[in-house]
Amino acid sequence: MSESLTNFCKMPLKIFFWAFLLKLALSASDHFTYNGFKGVNLSLDGLAGITSEGLLRLTNSTMHEQGHAFFPVPLRFKRSPANNVISFSTTFVFAIFPEHPMLGSAGFTFVLSPSKDLTKASPNYFLGLVNPTNNGNASNHILAVEFDTWYSPEAKDINNNHVGIDINSFISNQSTSAGFTSDYDGKFQNLILLSGKAMQVWIEYDEINMQFNVTLAPLWTPKPKIALLSSTINLSGIILDNMYVGFTAAVGTSYSYHYILGWSFKIDGKAPELNLSNLPPLPQTSTSFKKNQKILSLWLPLALSVFVLITAAAVLVTAAKKKKFSELHEDWELDFESYRFPYKQLYTATRGFKDEYLLGIGGFGRVYRGVLPASKVEVAVKRVSHESKQGMREFVAEIVSLGKLRHKNLVQLLGYCRRKGELLLVYEYMPNGSLEKFLFSETKQTLDWSLRLQIIKGVAYGLQYLHEGWDQVVIHRDIKASNVLLDGDMNGRLGDFGLARLYDHGMAPQTTNVVGTLGFLAPELARACKVTTSSDVFAFGAFLLEVVCGRRAIEPNKQEMEQVLVDWVFTNWKMGTLYETKDPRLGKDYALEELDLILKLGLFCSHPLPSARPSMRQVTQILNGDALLPPLLPYQCHFSDIDSEVNKGASSFVAIDRTTLKHFTY
Ligand SMILES: *[C@@H]1O[C@H](CO)[C@@H](O)[C@H](O)[C@H]1NC(C)=O
Ligand SMILES: *[C@@H]1O[C@H](CO)[C@@H](O)[C@H](O)[C@H]1NC(C)=O
Ligand SMILES: *[C@@H]1O[C@H](CO)[C@@H](O)[C@H](O)[C@H]1NC(C)=O
Ligand SMILES: *[C@@H]1O[C@H](CO)[C@@H](O)[C@H](O)[C@H]1NC(C)=O
Ligand SMILES: *[C@@H]1O[C@H](CO)[C@@H](O)[C@H](O)[C@H]1NC(C)=O
Ligand SMILES: *[C@@H]1O[C@H](CO)[C@@H](O)[C@H](O)[C@H]1NC(C)=O
Ligand SMILES: *[C@@H]1O[C@H](CO)[C@@H](O)[C@H](O)[C@H]1NC(C)=O
């Protein structure tokens, strides 16, 4: 306080004069404070709404949509058009509740925009801010701070839990992992944006130093002295005289509820403090969003005698240790004992699930690399969080039975461990990681043609084995380049099979969406949710095209005609320009007849009619030259054809049946 006072006194008189004039010029709406939004007049659109408790909800459980909320009148950010942007400051409290405890959706932003109509923006990673056409255009005049819970390579994201400054684009100018520097010990503490916990944000612009700061902290923590992001930007060219202030939020393939609990804003001064005890309560959800690792912090009064302290600490440490490694065991699990890993072993293997050991974050949870203490075997440990016990027995039975599947093109499941609220799955470690990185990353060396063929064949064998090689038909349900891992010899191996079943066992909250990934979903799946081997073949077709064309099955920022890979390749085939779809990075390194075969096989597999697709057996025969690819015919297909097929033919495929699994003997 005293420091700012002395600074204040050093300011030239001119500023006082300007400040005085400004005070006169600005209307009463140069600041506002909302401790909750009950009855507040905001301009809302899309999924945004104000709940009966007074929370500003930016999104709800609708997918691939967006929401916007703006203060209804524009605020004046310049004293005159030629002038610099006046200092401003805002603070707000937010909380994000994801559909799946570890899986984000897209995120939200705090935004300054010349218009309060951003309905033409796109959802998903466009964050409801911009769209593929206007992204990056300097005439947007948009300044935003993004709170992003989804890793989008398209947005050059650093991870799936970051804060960034965005100028006219969804690609951040500057970004950093969410967290704060503690005033207490100067250490950086990570925060998980989608933890469902309320957090406070402070955003400030100082016109003299042109410094733009963003600070984040858990609720009830005073504003940390060190900002999370601090950037020197001349906002004059970006911000116009009159701008709307508000929030945008977007959801993708899974949803999150984005809530704002309170918000204050001020031009030319510090945003009024929020009264945190007046904020509306967060909703009670059926799934609690507890942190996985309970960190026991002990605050013992200093007055306690040393003796009591030591004794108590010793007792508590033992208890904490016990709790730290505690597991969940039930009688029915005795059958699976040989597949079980002690939690302590996995904890040691991954050095306590340290971030450095994080291999990636997939649709079902985080995956860590580890070295088993005794055997020194390298493993990958996937932490899948779940809250309900319902269906757990069937699921574990299924996972264990899938662990009995052995094939050189499948990622071997080695075992599991159960704790309160989470399931840990232990897999063989794949040193070369995911195929996706090689195909789509600009930094990684690209794969040559013969390696691509080898990987395609391997995945075909692996999938054929799942479909035919075992007593039960196993449907993968989520085939795509990111689910194909590469072993030490660069063989393609299918991972994550069986996990889609999590959804069927009530472990994930009730959803009406089909499990799978956009761009790989067979039309009959989207229509009737009928999962068959033939819907896997459809996804395999899209996967073949991904490998040959070196792009993702869906790329929303491409032109409309090119967005869906399968459609784009099909159109090119009809126009006689099929080969132009190949990955430009292949150069001249390919055999034309092989390229022709794989592209056409991809289209054949992704035929809209399930009955027109080959089986995986036929696919491997074609790949080996033991059978000829049937001539591809131009087709035109209506959804009614698909419906009638779904109703008659498709049910002859067998899906894993929970009742049959119960009869397995182990
Ligand atoms: C909300 O504010 C806008 C802008 O001041 C005004 O036009 C509108 O009538 C207000 N709506 C309500 C319901 O007060
Ligand atoms: C989400 O909110 C929008 C707008 O308020 C509403 O139309 C829609 O029905 C809501 N969806 C769900 C699933 O609640
Ligand atoms: C940017 O947007 C303006 C106005 O919409 C448009 O005229 C211009 O062509 C756009 N520029 C680019 C590079 O797309
Ligand atoms: C950063 O911001 C400027 C506008 O000040 C913009 O022109 C530029 O493209 C941005 N850079 C990146 C990497 O997004
Ligand atoms: C912005 O953050 C930096 C670094 O934490 C700090 O030195 C500076 O004083 C801050 N500026 C404002 C206006 O808060
Ligand atoms: C900031 O940018 C504006 C134009 O965009 C320019 O007129 C002004 O001189 C710049 N201010 C500083 C301090 O560089
Ligand atoms: C915050 O709100 C509570 C409850 O309404 C009230 O008792 C308290 O005085 C308020 N605090 C401030 C600083 O306004």
Ligand 3 midpoint to CA 147 (Å): 27
Give 226 Cα–ligand 5 centroid separation in angstroms.
Answer: 7
Confidence (pLDDT) at 413: 84
Closest CA to 134 of 162, 171, 85, 160: 171
Write the DSSP symbol of residue 610.
Answer: G
Alpha carbon distances (Å) from 141 to 108, 114, 299, 397, 657: 18, 7, 49, 56, 55
512 Cβ closer than 6 Å to some ligand 3 atom: no
The alpha carbon of 164 and the centre of ligand 4 are apart by a number of angstroms equal to 12
Provide the terminal-to-terminal Cα distance of the chain, rounded to the nearest Å.
71
Q: Which residue type occupies 328?
A: L
Structure tokens at 439: 């195909």
41 lines ligand 1 (CB under 6 A): yes
The pLDDT value recorded for residue 63 is 80
Measured CA to CA, the distance from residue 522 to residue 533 in angstroms comes to 11
Structure tokens at 233: 């930007």
Q: In the chain, helix, strand, coil percent, each to 5?
A: 30, 20, 45
Residue 242 confidence (pLDDT): 93
Summary mean pLDDT of the chain:
80
Residue 554 phi, psi dihedral angles, 5° rounding: -135, 130
Q: CA-based angle 520:521:525, to the nearest 5? A: 165
Three-class SS state of 143: strand
Q: Out of 79, 80, 83, 84, give the residue to mutate to test ligand 6, the one with the largest number of ligand atoms within 8 Å of its CB.
A: 84
The residue type found at 192 is I
Q: How far apart are CA 535 and CA 140, in angstroms?
A: 42
Atom of ligand 6 nearest to the CA of 82: 7
How does residue 574 score in pLDDT terms, banded at 50, 70 and 90?
confident
Q: What is the mean pLDDT of residues 342-370?
A: 85
Range of weakest confidence among 296-305, 461-470, 534-543, 631-640: 296-305
* Mutation pick for ligand 2 pocket among 52, 62, 258 (CB with most ligand atoms within 8 Å): 62
**382 labelled binding-site residue:** yes
Whether 640 shows a pLDDT value over 70: the answer reads: no
Gap between the Cα atoms of 581 and 441, Å rounded: 18
Model confidence pLDDT, tens digit, residues 579-588: 999 998 888 8
Q: Which residue has the higher pLDDT, 373 or 649?
A: 373
CA of 72 to the centre of ligand 6 (A): 29
Given 478, 496, 536, 583, which residue is catalytic?
478
Closest to 100 measured CA to CA, from 287, 291, 354: 287
Instruction: Give the ligand at the shortest distance from the Cα of 33.
Output: 7
- From the alpha carbon of 133, which atom of ligand 3 is closest? 14
Name the strand (E) or helix (H) holding 395: helix 392-403
Q: Over 60: is that where the pLDDT of 592 sits?
A: yes
- Ligand 2 binding pocket includes 245 (Cβ within 6 Å): no
Q: Is 478 assigned a catalytic role?
A: yes
User: Separation of 430 CA from ligand 4 center, angstroms?
Assistant: 38
- For the chain, count helices (H), then strands (E): 14, 25
Which comes out higher in pLDDT, residue 470 or 413? 413
Confidence of residue 150 (pLDDT cuts 50, 70, 90): confident
Supply the pLDDT for residue 244. Answer: 97
Residue with tokens 């989207």: 526
Tally of CB atoms within 10 A around 225: 10
Task: Say which residue, 276 or 375, is predicted with more confidence.
Answer: 276
Q: Is any ligand 5 atom within 6 A of the Cβ of residue 319?
A: no
Mean pLDDT of 521-539: 76
Binding site membership of 139 for ligand 3 (Cβ less than 6 Å): yes
| Token pair recorded at residue 179 | 């967290």
Beta bridge partners of 426: 381, 415
How far from chain centre, in Å, is Cα 532? Answer: 27
Q: Which residue is closest in CA terms to ligand 6's atom 11?
A: 234
The pLDDT assigned to 530 comes to 66
Question: How many A from CA of 204 to the centre of ligand 6?
Answer: 19
Q: Which residue's entry shows tokens 């079980």?
A: 340
Model confidence at 652, pLDDT cuts 50, 70, 90, reads very low
The minimum-distance atom of ligand 5 relative to the CA of 205 is 13
Residue 21 in this model has a pLDDT that exceeds 50 = no
pLDDT tens digits along 169-210: 999 999 999 999 999 888 898 898 988 899 999 999 999 999
Cα–Cα distance measured from residue 98 to residue 59, given in angstroms and rounded to the nearest whole number: 11
> Which residue's alpha carbon is nearest to atom 10 within ligand 1?
41
Counting ligands in written order, the one closest to the CA of 84 is 6
CB 410 within 8 A of CB 462: yes
pLDDT reading at 28 higher than 70: no
**Which has the higher per-residue pLDDT, 519 or 434?**
434
User: What's phi and psi for 354, nearest 5 deg?
Assistant: -70, 150
Model confidence at 527: pLDDT above 70: no
pLDDT band at 246; cut points 50, 70, 90: very high
Q: Distance between CA 412 and CA 491 in Å, rounded? A: 13
The pLDDT of residue 657 is above 60: no
Residues 6+ apart with CB under 8 A from 181: 187, 188, 189, 224, 225, 226, 228
Which stretches of 311-436 are assigned E, i.e. beta strand?
Answer: 358-362, 365-371, 378-385, 413-419, 422-428
Q: Strands 358-362 and 365-371: what pairing?
A: antiparallel
The answer to whether 642 and 379 are in contact (CB under 8 A) is no
Residue 592 CA, distance from chain mean position = 38
Provide the pLDDT for residue 140.
Answer: 96
Residue of the CA atom closest to atom 3 of ligand 1:
72
Above pLDDT 90, what percent of the chain? 43
Atom of ligand 6 nearest to the CA of 234: 1
CA–CA distance, 240 with 114 (Å, rounded to integer) = 7
Residue with more model confidence, 374 or 201: 201
Assess whether the C-beta atom of 83 lies below 6 angstroms from ligand 6. Answer: no
Task: Tell me if 119 CB under 6 Å of ligand 3.
Answer: no
Q: Is the CB of 137 under 6 A from ligand 3?
A: yes
Neighbours of 665 (CB within 10 A): 4
How sure is the predictor about 239, in pLDDT bands with cuts at 50, 70 and 90?
Answer: very high
Answer with the residue of higher pLDDT: 340 or 655: 340
Burial class of 181 by CB neighbour count within 10 A (0 to 12, 13 to 18, 19+): middle
In the reported structure, the alpha carbon of residue 583 is separated from the centroid of ligand 4 by a whole-number distance in angstroms of 29
Please report, rounded to a whole number, the percentage of residues in the chain having pLDDT higher than 70: 77
What integer pLDDT is reported at residue 7 of this predicted model?
A: 42
Beta strands in 219-335 (DSSP E): 229-232, 242-250, 256-267
CB-CB contact of 18 with 37 (8 Å): no
- Regarding the beta carbon of 47 and ligand 2, being less than 6 Å apart is answered yes
Query: Looking at residues 336-364, what average pLDDT do you find?
Result: 83
Q: Which domains does the chain have, with CATH numbers?
A: 27-278 (2.60.120.200), 325-428 (3.30.200.20), 435-665 (1.10.510.10)
Q: From ligand 7's centre to the CA of 277, what distance in Å? A: 7
Cα–Cα distance, 354 to 358 (Å, whole number): 7
User: What is the residue with the minimal CA distance to atom 2 of ligand 6?
Assistant: 236
At residue 498, the pLDDT reads 60
Q: Within 13 Å of residue 344, how many CA atoms lie on the same side as its CB?
A: 6
Return the ligand 3 atom nearest residue 140 CA: 2
Q: How far is 289 from 284, CA to CA, in rounded Å?
A: 10
Would the CA dihedral through 216, 219, 221, 223 be positive or negative? positive
Q: State mean pLDDT over 470-487.
A: 83
As a whole number of angstroms, the distance between CA 333 and CA 393 comes to 8
58 alpha carbon – ligand 2 mean position (Å): 11
CA atoms within 13 A on the CB side of 182: 8
- Is 318 a pocket residue for ligand 1 (Cβ < 6 Å)? no
| pLDDT tops 90 at residue 42 | yes
Whether 138 is in the pocket of ligand 6, judged by its Cβ within 6 Å, is no
Alpha carbon distance 392, 388 (integer Å): 8
Cα angle 466, 471, 476 (rounded to 5 degrees) comes to: 25
pLDDT number for residue 509: 31
What is the CB neighbour count within 10 angstroms for residue 418? Answer: 21
Q: Which ligand is nearest to the CA of 275?
A: 7
Question: How confident is residue 506, by pLDDT bands cut at 50, 70 and 90?
Answer: very low
Distances (CA, A) of 162 to 107, 148, 179: 10, 5, 9
Distance CA(483)–CA(269), nearest Å, equals: 51
Q: What is the pLDDT of residue 517?
A: 65
From 101, 41, 108, select the one nearest 72 (Cα to Cα): 41
Residue-level pLDDT at 374: 77
Closest residue to atom 5 of ligand 7, CA basis: 278
Answer whether 133 contacts ligand 3 (Cβ < 6 A): no
Residue with more model confidence, 107 or 510: 107
Average pLDDT over residues 236-249: 95
The encoded tokens of residue 462 equal 């692996």
Q: Whose alpha carbon is nearest atom 13 of ligand 3?
A: 137
